[in-house]
Amino acid sequence: MVKQAIRIFARVKPSRKPAGIYSVSNEEERASSLEILVPRDLADGFVNNKRESYKFRFQETFDQDVKQDTIFESIAKPVAESVLTGYNGTIFAYGQTGSGKTFTITGGAERYSDRGIIPRTLSYMFEQFQKDSSKVYTAHVSYLEIYNECGYDLLDPRHEASKLEDLPKVTIMEDPDQNIHLKNLSLLQASNEEEALNLLFLGDTNRMIAETPMNQASTRSHCIFTIHVSSKEPGSATVRRSKLHLVDLAGSERVAKTGVGGQLLTEAKYINLSLHYLEQVIIALAEKNRSHIPYRNSMMTSVLRDSLGGNCMTTMIATLSLDKRNIDESISTCRFAQRVALIKNEAILNEETDPQLIIVRLRKEIQGLKGELALLTGEQRTEELTEDETLRLEEQVRGFLEDRDPESSLDMGADMRKIQYCFAFIKLLHGKKEEESRASSPVNAAERPSSSAPRPEEIKKLRDILQQRDNEINILVSMLKKEKKKTQDAMFEMAPSRLNAPTRHSDSSAQSGSLDQSPKSSVSAAVEDQMGSQEWRSHSFPRKTGEEMSLGRQEAFEIFKRDYPDRVTIEDNKRLLKQRFAEAKSLGEEVNKVRSRINQMKGDVEQRRIQRAALGIFSSSDEQNQYDPVEEELREQMEEEKKRYKGLFSRLKNLKTEIEHLQLLLEKAKVKLQKDFEGWWVEEAAHLQAKQEVHKARMATSAPPSPQVHEQSRAPRMLDTPIPLTGDSQTDADILAFVRARQNLLQRRGKP
């Protein structure tokens, strides 16, 4: 059992605006202090006795210039290590809207270095799974969203990237032991890092995001990403199960300050209410004499019951936005963190015995006890032994007879049928051995001066010598064939004709081609295949969009994409991905070259061994065992090439992980671009349709125009020239929507 208080950290968000007056002090060991200075307002001559200085203590305070990798190493890595050893862990970020909680937990989508705690933790855990070969690890992932006090499963496989209302609702169930169970929450297995990152990307796509006055892309819900880890040593019945909650809380904000309304106001009320219940639970846990903790007031506190005062190692990150207008919210966040630090958790090693292994062991024990009981009572079994049982008994008897250890024993149980079968099999083996010795005695009697039968050791030795001679003869025959072939090649080379040059060239190319096309040298081919698939992905998005859209919408989409704010980021990621592909391709070619050199050196070493074995037939054993400096030099070169191969392969593996993450970022950016365009297009079409209805109403109230005027007035003059329409309602709507969109985009650019 590990008893410790919840660890608290503070992170200051970078700001371009003038920040409030604050200072960070890291003079104390394993602790730091954050001091916030609030100047007094002496306007109109009124006396203000408000405090000017607020000082708070944290385990560590991260200033504006701290990067994501430092946050992971200091905060998330110790928690992940404890989860791998069998303890539960929780990391949650708390702060106001726009203070950087989602960036800290999930990360940004612009650069690879902006990865947050969740993708870095997944990468670290699967790396540790591969390093630790003494245990068998399995990992499962779940992603829960709490929106307006209702739980939703973000990883539902039946509704990929669907509306939030279509996702299955998650309900809380409690067993008699007061353990919380979440109904309808998917728990999906991730066998490697790529599958886990794909699940994270799917959950982030389904997540509820809206624009608020405090943040352009504000998460309007609490999200809990959980990693379930189980580990077991081979042959052991003990299983360790642990879980890691990575919680991204919704931002606390003052509704009166933001001035939001409608759906955003409802979301803000639910968010503030759930955070209020969370604060009530923390205050109750900090008080020693409280007998009741109000976990059931909200869904979030019910799910995080173990993380708050339970069996868990919990860490909190207080994200602060120290702009002058956000000083009050930042001070409130720091006060909340100080109350959280008073809570103490008791983390227990989660070990349990695998019931399946216990059942197997008990069945074996029951079978053995039944056999002993039958042996003691004299009960006779009439059924015959099965074929599998007899084969197993014969293997045990052969192993017992071949074992030279005098203390070895033959364990066949307390079954008289098995005992009698083993004695009969031993007698059969002894009879076969005597027949073989009698059959071989006339042949060897003339070679020995004595008339006694040959011993089994001598027969075995003679057989070994005969086998060795056969091997030597085969080696000599193969060498003679090679020498004969070399002689023929030399005779062809001496001929003045040049017809053999292309033949030799084709032979060498065929040999090199066969070497390059071996299954082991497919690294560069795999990289080229991956590049081809990536190029197909990058070109498939616009092509698919063009097939689904009409010509007007396609042209509007191209203009929208050209003026899209994140276009520069997408192009930078594409360029970086292309560079990584080029590096991976060059590394793959280098790996293949190193592997070819290693195979060539192996062949040279084997050739020298065959030559020395053939020479050993006609020379003494001392000459055969002499030191070969050429072979030793080849072995040293092989070791150097193997080290280089391992280094290149490790770099290639790291590049593959980075390429896959960049691909995910590009897919996510493309999905966001498509969603933004669809929303913009619907808005423009609705506006244009409303304008058409007004125009039709005006035309209906006015006098009927002439036919020429009527043909020209069918379309509103949004540009300098009249717009020709086709008569088809859907096509006309697309044309008018495109004209409206183009005019708006030209106005945004400053063109008339």
Q: Give the pLDDT confidence of 172-196 residue by residue, as tens digits.
A: 888 887 778 888 888 999 999 999 9
Strands 136-147 and 150-153: antiparallel
- pLDDT of amino acid 721: 45
Does residue 529 share a domain with residue 380?
no
Q: Has residue 80 been placed in a domain? A: yes
Integer Rg of the chain from CA? 39
Residue 316 has pLDDT above 90, yes or no: yes
Q: With pLDDT > 70 as the criterion, what percentage of the chain qualifies?
A: 71
Domain-terminating residue out of 629, 657, 673: 673
Q: Is 368 annotated as a binding residue?
A: no
Nearest to 100 by CA among 362, 326, 379: 326
Residue 597 has pLDDT above 50, yes or no: yes
Q: Has residue 735 been placed in a domain? A: no
Least confidently predicted of 78-82, 297-301, 613-617 = 613-617
Q: Has residue 205 been placed in a domain? A: yes
Q: With pLDDT > 90 as the criterion, what percentage of the chain qualifies?
A: 14
Nearest to 644 by CA among 595, 603, 582, 601: 595
- pLDDT of amino acid 162: 54
Q: Is 95 annotated as a binding residue?
A: yes
Q: Has residue 686 been placed in a domain? A: no
Does residue 246 share a domain with residue 154?
yes
Does residue 123 share a domain with residue 35?
yes
Max avg pLDDT among 185-189, 602-606, 705-709 = 185-189
Mean pLDDT in residue range 513-525: 41
Q: Rounded to whole angstroms, how far apart are CA atoms 729 and 716?
A: 15
Does residue 92 share a domain with residue 35?
yes
Domain-terminating residue out of 631, 657, 673: 673
The beta-strand segments (E) located in 105-208 are 136-147, 150-153, 169-174, 180-183, 188-189
- pLDDT of amino acid 555: 64
- pLDDT of amino acid 707: 47
**Furthest C-alpha separation in the chain:** 140
Does residue 550 share a domain with residue 484?
yes
Least confidently predicted of 163-167, 431-435, 460-464 = 163-167
Cα 368 from chain centroid (whole Å)? 46
Mean pLDDT in residue range 40-60: 72
Q: Has residue 728 been placed in a domain? A: no
pLDDT digits (tens, 9 = 90+) for 336-386: 899 989 888 888 888 888 777 788 888 888 887 887 787 777 666 667 788
Residue 495 has pLDDT above 70, yes or no: no
- pLDDT of amino acid 526: 46
Question: What per-residue string of b and e applies to 403-433 under the rule 16 or more CB within 10 Å gives b?
Answer: eeeeeeeeebebbebbeebbeebeeeeeeee
Max avg pLDDT among 214-223, 231-240, 316-325, 612-621 = 316-325
The beta-strand segments (E) located in 96-237 are 136-147, 150-153, 169-174, 180-183, 188-189, 209-210, 218-219, 222-232
Considering only residues 685 and 201, tell me which one the structure prediction assigns the higher pLDDT: 201
Find where tokens 């309007």 sit. 220
- pLDDT of amino acid 188: 92
Q: For residue 218, name the pLDDT band (cuts at 50, 70, 90).
A: low
Q: Is 97 annotated as a binding residue?
A: yes
User: Which CATH number belongs to the domain containing residue 326 in this structure?
Assistant: 3.40.850.10
CA distances from 321 to 15, 247, 255, 529 (A): 8, 19, 17, 46
- pLDDT of amino acid 628: 75
Does residue 258 share a domain with residue 149?
yes
Does residue 492 share a domain with residue 416?
no
Nearest to 194 by CA among 91, 94, 142, 123: 123
Residue 513 has pLDDT above 60, yes or no: no
Mean pLDDT in residue range 70-91: 93
Residue 514 has pLDDT above 60, yes or no: no
Does residue 338 share a domain with residue 373?
no
Residue 445 has pLDDT above 60, yes or no: no
Q: Has residue 684 been placed in a domain? A: no
Residue 77 has pLDDT above 90, yes or no: yes
Residue 62 has pLDDT above 80, yes or no: yes
Considering only residues 540 and 610, tell me which one the structure prediction assigns the higher pLDDT: 610
Q: Has residue 7 been placed in a domain? A: yes
Could you tell me the residue range of the domain that residue 503 belongs to?
462-673
- pLDDT of amino acid 507: 43
Does residue 207 share a domain with residue 136?
yes
**Exposure of 288 by Cβ count < 10 A (0-12 exposed, 13-18 middle, 19+ buried)?**
exposed
- Domain total in the chain: 3
Nearest to 21 by CA among 49, 40, 45, 44: 40
Q: Rounded to whole angstroms, how far apart are CA atoms 605 and 607?
A: 5
Q: For residue 621, name the pLDDT band (cuts at 50, 70, 90).
A: low
Does residue 303 share a domain with residue 418?
no
Mean pLDDT in residue range 284-293: 80
Max avg pLDDT among 15-24, 186-195, 401-410 = 186-195
**Which tokens belong to 271?**
């968010």
Residue 510 has pLDDT above 80, yes or no: no
Dihedral pair phi/psi, residue 145, rounded to 5°: -120, 130
Domain-terminating residue out of 395, 422, 449: 422
Q: Rounded to whole angstroms, how far apart are CA atoms 570 and 665?
A: 9
CA distances from 751 to 516, 667, 743, 748 (A): 59, 33, 9, 8
Q: Rounded to whole angstroms, how far apart are CA atoms 48 and 41?
A: 7
Q: Rounded to whole angstroms, how far apart are CA atoms 92 and 82?
A: 16
Residue 323 has pLDDT above 60, yes or no: yes
Q: Is 468 annotated as a binding residue?
A: no
Q: For residue 625, name the pLDDT band (cuts at 50, 70, 90).
A: low
Q: Is 102 annotated as a binding residue?
A: yes
- pLDDT of amino acid 228: 95
Does residue 246 share a domain with residue 338?
yes
Does residue 340 share a domain with residue 478?
no
Q: Has residue 602 been placed in a domain? A: yes
Q: Is 101 annotated as a binding residue?
A: yes
- pLDDT of amino acid 736: 67
Q: Rounded to whole angstroms, how far apart are CA atoms 249 and 96?
A: 10
Residue 79 has pLDDT above 70, yes or no: yes
